[in-house]
């Protein structure tokens, strides 16, 4: 049965974890996979998560099945965090999903059931797994212009033009904040203009929100979700708690679908739950119940916001630090886009050959597109890193 199979190629992002781990050079730098790191280069469990986990150990009474939609307290808290009061809850179905990827996968099946001929339009570039994940589920994908690699700016006019030509009923995949890989998001005015065309054309927004709280604040980062929720009849939102709660391997997220009215919401809800049953039956519980414990307790929620702000602040500081170090070494090159970007990622803006040289000669790991995870930068490695980059320019 397997004799005709060929080995699959390593994942462009996850493959870097092993490559970096196996590199014996002590000065190596990991700017690959999107996990937060402290100034010491660690990814510790958030303190607030530890507290919530302790509470669970002491009080959780059962691990019996909870159902395809997961924990209702978690779902309600996540729905409020995502939509606030932008739209009536009677129109939204929210389910607990196994991480952002699990949420996207359920959304893909739901789209195929509702509108099998629809195309999903993704930004060029987009997260390296968006297209394999959604196309692998059977969806048709196309791309719209988003990022200019020469000027390191967003191509808003080209994006608006592309949107205005998309067939009504197609879906537009948007990154709510901290665009992965570029780190550049539209301004609120630009989002409004994008929403105008989405409404005019009758397109369905499909929003991936994997970094809420990592760009500016929990509320500001949800701007496009809440703005569109007030304007469109239907919308899909995939949330991830991997980054903002540091629960990467616990697989925590939600899928929220906004329907035109309460009756369609109930139909959609039944379909989503049926999709879940046919893929993984029920979602993993632990991470979601941790998040629910935090979001439903004012003291823990306040402590979480502090830790989240610290993570956000560190990412911002490291961008500035690297930009300054590069300016010193290579003043003729402009790296100011590092500072304009938000969240975990941005493009360094070097060629794939340079990326390979950085890996081979200096043990500096990043995605082939030169996307860097700024959380991998520390005050201790920034000079080494900037020297290495400057040597390849
Ligand atoms: C990333 O883009 O590095 C993260 O979202 C991790 C992943 O699964 O790719």
Give, for ligand 1, the residue of 34, 182, 244, 247 to mutate: max count of ligand atoms closer than 8 Å to Cβ: 34
* CATH 3.90.1150.10 domain extents, the chain: 12-44+312-392
Catalytic residues: 127, 208, 243
Residue nearest to atom 6 of ligand 1 (CA): 34
Output the pLDDT for position 12.
87
Where the chain has pLDDT below 50, the residues are: none
Query: How does strand 253-258 pair with strand 235-240?
Result: antiparallel
151-194 pLDDT per residue, tens: 999 999 999 999 999 999 999 999 999 999 999 999 999 999 99
- What is the spatial distance between Cα 346 and Cα 350, in angstroms, rounded to a whole number? 12
Report which of 14, 22, 98, 53 is spatially closest to residue 275, judged by C-alpha positions.
Answer: 98
**Residue of the nearest CA to atom 9 in ligand 1?**
13
Atom of ligand 1 nearest to the CA of 210: 5
**Mutation probe of ligand 1 site: the residue of 18, 43, 125, 129 with most atoms within 8 A of C-beta:** 129
DSSP character string of 213-257: TSSS-TTGGGHHHHHHHTT-S-EEEEEE-TTTS--GGG--EEEEE
Residues of the chain with CATH 3.40.640.10: 65-296
- CATH architecture under which domain 65-296 falls: 3-Layer(aba) Sandwich (3.40)
Residue 16: name the closest of 28, 27, 30, 26 by CA: 30
Take residue 158 and report the two structure tokens written for it. Answer: 């080209």
- Among protein residues, the one with the nearest Cα to ligand 1's atom 4 is 34
pLDDT reported for residue 213: 98
Cα–Cα distance measured from residue 66 to residue 320, given in angstroms and rounded to the nearest whole number: 46
- Residue among 244, 210, 189 nearest 49 (CA): 244
What is the structure's pLDDT at 10? 84
Q: Tell me, using a 6 A CB cutoff, whether residue 180 lines ligand 1.
A: yes
How much of the chain exceeds pLDDT 90, in percent? 99
Ligand 1: residue whose CA is nearest its atom 5 = 34
Which uninterrupted H or E stretch holds 175?
A: strand 171-175
Q: How many CB atoms lie within 10 A of CB 144?
A: 21
**Whole-number CA gyration radius for the chain:** 21
Q: Within 13 Å of residue 276, how many CA atoms lie on the same side as its CB?
A: 24
Residue 142 DSSP label: E
Given CATH 3.40.50.300, say whether it is the number of domain 12-44+312-392.
no
**Range 14-22 contact pairs with CB under 8 angstroms and sequence separation of 24 or more:** 16/365, 16/366, 16/367, 19/359, 19/365, 20/365
Q: Is 144 helix (H, G, I), strand (E, B) or coil?
A: strand
Tokens of residue 262, six digits: 């309460």
Residue 370's Cβ-count burial label (10 Å; 0-12, 13-18, 19+) is buried
CA–CA gap between residue 262 and residue 258 (Å, rounded) = 10
List, in sequence order, the alpha helices (H) in the chain: 15-22, 47-59, 72-83, 99-114, 130-136, 156-164, 188-201, 223-229, 262-279, 286-295, 298-329, 337-340, 352-362, 382-392
Task: Indicate the angle between helix axes 382-392 and 298-329, nearest 10 degrees.
Answer: 40
- What is d(CA 245, CA 55) in angstroms, rounded to the nearest whole number? 16
CA of 33 from ligand 1 middle (Å) equals 6
Separation of CA 34 and ligand 1 centre (Å): 5
pLDDT in tens, 309-332: 999 999 999 999 999 999 999 999
- Give the integer Cα–Cα distance in Å for 340 and 258: 32
In angstroms, what is the span from residue 101 Cα to ligand 1's centroid?
Answer: 10
């Amino acid at each position: 049965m397997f004799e005709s199979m060929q080995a699959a190629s390593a994942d462009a992002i996850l493959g870097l974890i092993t490559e970096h781990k196996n590199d014996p050079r002590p000065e190596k730098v990991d700017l690959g996979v999107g996990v937060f790191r402290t100034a010491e280069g660690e990814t510790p469990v958030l303190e607030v998560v530890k507290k919530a986990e302790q509470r669970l150990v002491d009080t959780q009474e059962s691990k019996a099945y909870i159902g395809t939609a997961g924990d209702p307290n978690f779902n309600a808290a996540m729905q409020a965090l995502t939509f606030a009061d932008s739209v009536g809850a009677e129109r939204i179905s929210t389910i607990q999903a196994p991480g952002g990827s699990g949420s996207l996968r359920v959304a893909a099946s739901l789209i195929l059931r509702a509108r099998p001929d629809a195309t999903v339009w993704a930004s060029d570039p987009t997260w390296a797994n968006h297209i394999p994940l959604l196309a692998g589920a059977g969806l048709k994908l196309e791309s719209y212009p988003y990022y200019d690699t020469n000027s390191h700016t967003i191509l808003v006019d080209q994006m608006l033009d592309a949107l205005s030509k998309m067939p009504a009923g197609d879906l537009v995949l948007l990154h709510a904040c901290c665009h992965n890989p570029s780190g550049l998001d539209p301004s609120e005015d630009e989002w409004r203009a994008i929403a105008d065309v989405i409404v005019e054309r009758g397109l369905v927004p499909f929003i991936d929100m994997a970094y809420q709280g990592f760009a500016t604040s929990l509320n500001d980062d949800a701007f496009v979700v809440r703005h569109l929720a007030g304007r469109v009849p239907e919308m899909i939102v995939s949330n991830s708690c991997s980054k903002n709660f540091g629960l990467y391997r616990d697989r925590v997220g939600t899928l929220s679908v906004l329907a035109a009215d309460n009756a369609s919401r109930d139909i959609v809800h039944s379909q989503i739950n049926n999709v879940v049953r046919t893929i993984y039956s029920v979602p993993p519980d632990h991470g979601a119940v941790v998040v629910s414990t935090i979001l439903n307790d004012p003291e823990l929620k306040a402590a979480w916001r502090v830790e989240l702000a610290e993570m956000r602040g560190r990412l911002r500081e490291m961008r500035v630090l690297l930009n300054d170090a590069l300016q010193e070494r290579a003043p003729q090159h402009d790296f100011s886009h590092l500072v304009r970007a938000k969240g975990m990622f941005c493009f360094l803006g070097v060629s794939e050959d340079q990326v390979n040289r950085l890996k081979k000669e200096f043990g500096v790991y990043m995605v082939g597109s030169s996307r860097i995870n700024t959380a991998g930068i520390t005050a201790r490695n920034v000079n080494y890193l900037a020297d290495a980059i400057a040597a390849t320019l």
